Amino acid sequence: MFLARKDAQPAHMPDKNVLVEVVIPVYNEEVILEKSVTTLRNYLMEHFPYRWRITVANNASKDNTLEVAKRLEATYPDVRVFHLDQKGRGRALRAVWESSDADVVSYMDVDLSTNLQSFLPLVAPIITGHSDLAIGSRLAKGARVTRQWKREIISRIYNLIIKLFFWNNFTDAQCGFKAGRTSVIKELLPLVENQEWFFDSEVLLLAEEKGMRIYEVPVDWIEDLDSRVKIVKTASEDLKGLTRVRKQRKERRRHKVREVAKV
């Protein structure tokens, strides 16, 4: 794992042929979707030196989110819509990333809780070949976070449990601000079982198990008080996921030992 300065810039001349896809998974976000996409587009046009595309991944919204997304797609040539009939953030990301033709795939939460100035430092090390994946961290040194104490405690406990289970190097599995080389992501996706909130954690744990390089950017992050995350349900899902992944990892290790013993 590597830690990055939030104001870090690419140390090379940007390759204009590189395409970065930014996925925004949404469920019932008709109120803020247009404003968020507009804000993101303005940032990318003014500050991002690579080619880019915004994909709104609508997963089974029951309000007018899809209509808003289609209007944005019709207005801007660099915005597209990907619609799914089933819920699940992980399901939405998987569907878009599996079919992506971009060099780098990424995602961020629709509320833009993470400061967009962290986006270039997030993807730059992937583009330059220094890292395979990159994550925003609210728990790394240098991060500045504003959120309710209840969510802060839950987040820290969850990441502590991951550390106790796996002795991992990354500090924040759940921050909705991640990117990866598309070829690497496509290698990992067939191994990921979860389709919802644990998807992020599972991708990172599998990547680290395979020895992939994970770059970590301390971020400025402000909590969205209108978050769709259900704390109890998500926490239960995460704990079940961690237990499953730990068991599967042990099985793989035992299998490897048996295969070595046969030789």
Percentage helix, strand, coil for the chain under 3-state DSSP, each rounded to 5:
45, 20, 35
Per-residue pLDDT, averaged over 60-80, amounts to: 97
Q: Is 96 exposed, middle or buried (0-12, 13-18, 19+ CB in 10 A)?
A: buried
Is domain 2-262 given the CATH code 3.30.870.10 in the classification?
Answer: no
Of the candidates 24, 14, 126, the residue with the CA atom closest to the CA atom of residue 65: 24
Residues that are catalytic = 200
- Decide: 18 and 50 in contact? Cβ < 8 Å: yes
Tokens encoding 174: 């759940």
pLDDT at 258 over 80: yes
Interval 61-89 mean pLDDT: 97
Of 162, 177, 147, whose CA–CA distance to 235 is shortest? Answer: 162
Q: What is residue 120's predicted lDDT score, i.e. its pLDDT?
A: 97
Q: What local confidence, expressed as pLDDT, does residue 13 receive?
A: 60
End-to-end CA distance of the chain: 34
Closest CA to 220 of 1, 2, 7: 7
Structure confidence at residue 229 as a pLDDT band (50, 70, 90): low
Using CA atoms, how far residue 239 sits from 158, 165, 166, 236, in Å, is 8, 11, 13, 5
* Domain residue ranges in the chain: 2-262
- 154 Cβ neighbours under 8 A, 6+ residues apart: 231, 235
Counting residues of the chain whose pLDDT is more than 70, the rounded percentage is 92
Note the pLDDT of residue 225: 63
pLDDT reading at 236 higher than 90: no
Q: Is 222 exposed, middle or buried (0-12, 13-18, 19+ CB in 10 A)?
A: middle
pLDDT band at 150 (very low <50, low <70, confident <90, very high): confident
